[in-house]
Amino acid sequence: MKTKVCTKCEVEKEATNGFFAKQKSGKYGLTSKCKDCKKVYTEMNAEKAASYKRNWYMRNKERMLSEAKEHSGEINEQRRKRRASDHEKYRKIEKEYRDRNPDKKKEKKQKVLQKTQRRTFAQM
Ligand SMILES: [Zn+2]
């Protein structure tokens, strides 16, 4: 029976796929660490990866939040600018309309006046 000593736990185990994972480059075509150690290592790594992810999130949370805030500020600024320019545009259109039709207001006033006068005459 071929045996292999795990480089991690240094326990001599049967050199089969039951105790060591397959690895072409390893002795007997198996990994140098036994499956148990590999499992612990993988779990540790998973925990490490998870905590790294958590830490990354914690580290970047502030930054991401502030970036999001900045970005929304940017959007608000754009909206404000657009509203201001729209307001300016409408004012311009109104002014142009008034400039083109300077007598519109006066005409209306006169019509009302005429109506009133007619009524007054009719009453007399
Ligand atoms: Zn081991």
Confidence band for 119, pLDDT divided at 50, 70 and 90:
confident
Q: Are 50 and 25 in contact (CB under 8 A)?
A: no
Distance, CA 27 to ligand 1 centroid (Å)?
A: 15
Average pLDDT over every residue of 22-38: 94
pLDDT at 5 over 80: yes
Domain region containing 50: 3-102
Distance, CA 6 to ligand 1 centroid (Å)?
A: 5
pLDDT of residue 110: 75
Distance, CA 43 to ligand 1 centroid (Å)?
A: 14
- What's the number of domains the chain is made of? 1
pLDDT of residue 104: 67
pLDDT of residue 9: 96
Distance, CA 55 to ligand 1 centroid (Å)?
A: 30
Confidence band for 121, pLDDT divided at 50, 70 and 90:
low
Type of residue at 68: A
Distance, CA 1 to ligand 1 centroid (Å)?
A: 18
Q: Are 5 and 34 in contact (CB under 8 A)?
A: no
Distance, CA 49 to ligand 1 centroid (Å)?
A: 22
Distance, CA 40 to ligand 1 centroid (Å)?
A: 9
From the number of C-beta atoms within 10 Å of its C-beta (0-12, 13-18, 19+), residue 55 rates as exposed
Assess if residue 124 is contained within a domain. Answer: no
State the residue for tokens 């990354």. Answer: 56
pLDDT at 42 over 80: yes
Distance, CA 41 to ligand 1 centroid (Å)?
A: 10
pLDDT tens digits, residue range 67-82? 888 888 777 888 888 8
Average pLDDT over every residue of 98-114: 76
pLDDT of residue 123: 65
